[in-house]
Chains A and B, each alone.
Chain A
Amino acid sequence: MTADRSVLPSNYPPGDLAIWIFILAELAVFAIFFAAYAFTRLQHVALFNEHQLTLDREAALINTLALITSSYFVVRAVSAIKVGDRRRCVHWLLAALSMGLLFLIVKSVEYVQHYSEGINLSSNIFYMFYLSLTFFHFMHVIMGMVILAAIAVMAARGRYSRQEHTGVESGASYWHMVDLVWLILFPLVYVMR
């Protein structure tokens, strides 16, 4: 008899253990980035505070809501496959992907605006951190969307079921990591001063 993981506590997180090792490595890199930002700011407080005001907080809020909403949709997709509802799982994954796409569009518009204003990595140390951090995260959003899209295709083809859905849980965990990182990045770069 197989124990239901959703009911009994497990010794391992949902999904494949390998994805969690990967997530750990990613989180460690972002943690170093965040600490580097905070301690570099210490040497240039006035410059960071001045240029932080040039960022588009409304766009950042839209992106925060988009990522949180997409994470919620992924939770619903996992819940659906756990009861064997493949169709609903695919629908939730597509909804999550649409939120990811919204994030990419909004962030791209921000980058185009910065570029048109002549802002780049060499402008100053604040923009160097801002552009590096957010673009590194941007690449993770793309990676997460590729994973979610692959899972949606496999789910539509009947690869996952109520009994076997490790792939969905693994992809979901990665996507939540992308959301988690943004939840710290947003206040750190856009709000705290």
Chain B
Amino acid sequence: MGFSPRQAPVFLAAIFAPSILLVGLFIVYPVVNSVGLAFTDASPLSSGRSFVGFENFVYLLEDGEFWEVLWNTVFIVGAATIIATAGGYGLATLLISGIRGAAIFRAAIFQVWVVPWIVIAILWGWLFSQDYGLVNYLLMQVGLIEAPVKWMFDQNASQWAIISGYAWRAIPFIMVICLAALQGIPSELVESAAIDGASFLQRQRYVILPLMQNIILVAALLQAVRFFQEMTMIFVLTQGGPVNATMVLSLYTYKTAFEDWDFGLASAIGTIWLILLMAFALFYVRVALRRNLA
């Protein structure tokens, strides 16, 4: 289907010109140029720059801090993605099970997705405030903790405070995608399984989940990619602390570039990030998605 490009070369050139210009100048060129900078000691503070080979990469790979940041990123993004995916899918399953007022619940939950990140950052600072925070109050009421937790000053607690914010914000997105996909499952399939005596859990396990697997994986991947880029909460709440506990790759690259003004080293971090992402994407497409299609 479609028209032949030969029919209208000028028209085609005209309609593609704006995006080619934008993408070429401000995505392709910067990526290529920054990867190049990773092999230099570039800094806006000094006028000259010299080629240093793999020095930046060697420094990073030998530096314990970099591995720490990498692990924190994987942990925070991974935990938040898993919680958001499980929560979003669970909610979608509940909402589609024929309860009354599902549309109202869906609309209400969707409001969470509308809250700007800067607002979540400030709000989480208040919710997780040590002395007057609602989270400490509720946890103590329920009896889960005995004394107020110093959320932003404890390494483990601060990670979970950030993870909870990420997961909270992403649940509606996963829920909406899962709802749409669940609505697409032919009801005969589920009903015939029910007639054959499959319990609710068996229907989930053997009928619905296999059909949903790919969509859940794609939604989770999209969300994880977004989490990788996101850093407003961490920037506002912890600046990566305490003791680098919430230092993630995006903030680490940003700080190296625009606080230490070490463009060479920052580019090297970004380049490793890019390589890891590509490897992960390849693995994801090859293994996770292909296996499910087969």
A binds B: no
* Interface positions of B (Cβ within 8 A of A): none
